[in-house]
Structure 1
Amino acid sequence: MVAPTASEPRTNNNGHRLYVKGKHVAFKRGKHTLRPGTSLIKIEGVDDPQAAHFYLGKRIAYVYRGKKEIRGTKIRVIWGKVARPH
């Protein structure tokens, strides 16, 4: 294997993913009331509250595809953030 020279850019074939996948599990709720403004999210690879502390304050993007184009795209995003572990 030959090392790249200064004129050749280094290419790294394995990409670095800057996001973690998660699933919407449920809305926050009490015994009788449902709070649709707050969601419970299951973050992939996080199994206990201590591991979730890294994600506190981090942003969450719910990305989905709408039926009609708005502002030139069908892709829409709802932003939120991680407030506390559950």
Structure 2
Amino acid sequence: MSNSTRLYTKGLILGYKRGLRNQHTNTSLIRIEGVNNKNETEFYLGKRVAYIYRAQKKTKATLRKTRNASKFRVMWGKVTRSHGNSGVVRAKFRHNLPPKSMGATVHVMLYPSRV
């Protein structure tokens, strides 16, 4: 029997930060599972966020004839602050998330810790 520890919690991409007329694509809004108010978001500030998606082609590892080639790719980001009072957080990704990612799930990692 293995003792596995959980390294992430699920999140949902809601969209970009926006006003009435303009949207700011450099900041994404994420709802974290089990977080329902502004006080509960405090734990997640500074945590890493991974958007995992599947591409058509395998990675370039196939060109080097290695076995660990995969069609899965990851876009990394970081939770920056809370957004509103209902437990939604803002996250900035190294590369802006594509519009196709809206409604998709993300992994909100439980590291790094802010002790």
TM band (smaller chain)? 0.7 to 0.9
User: Is residue 2:67 matched to residue 1:78?
Assistant: no
Distance in 2, Cα, partners of 1:79 & 1:13: 29
Question: TM-score scaled to structure 2, two decimals?
Answer: 0.61
RMSD over aligned CA atoms reads: 1.2
Question: TM-score scaled to structure 1, two decimals?
Answer: 0.80
Runs of 4+ aligned structure 1 residues displaced above 2 Å come to 12-15
Structure number with greater CO (CA < 8 Å, separation at least 6) is: 2
- Please give the residue correspondences for 1:1-86 in structure 2 after superposition, counting only pairs within 5 Å: 12-71=1-60, 72-86=69-83
Residues 28-67 of structure 1: per-residue CA shift (max 9 Å, x gap)? 0011111112100000011011000000001100011111
> Greater Rg, structure 1 or structure 2?
1
Task: For structure 1, list consecutive stretches of 5 or more residues without a partner in the other structure.
Answer: 1-11
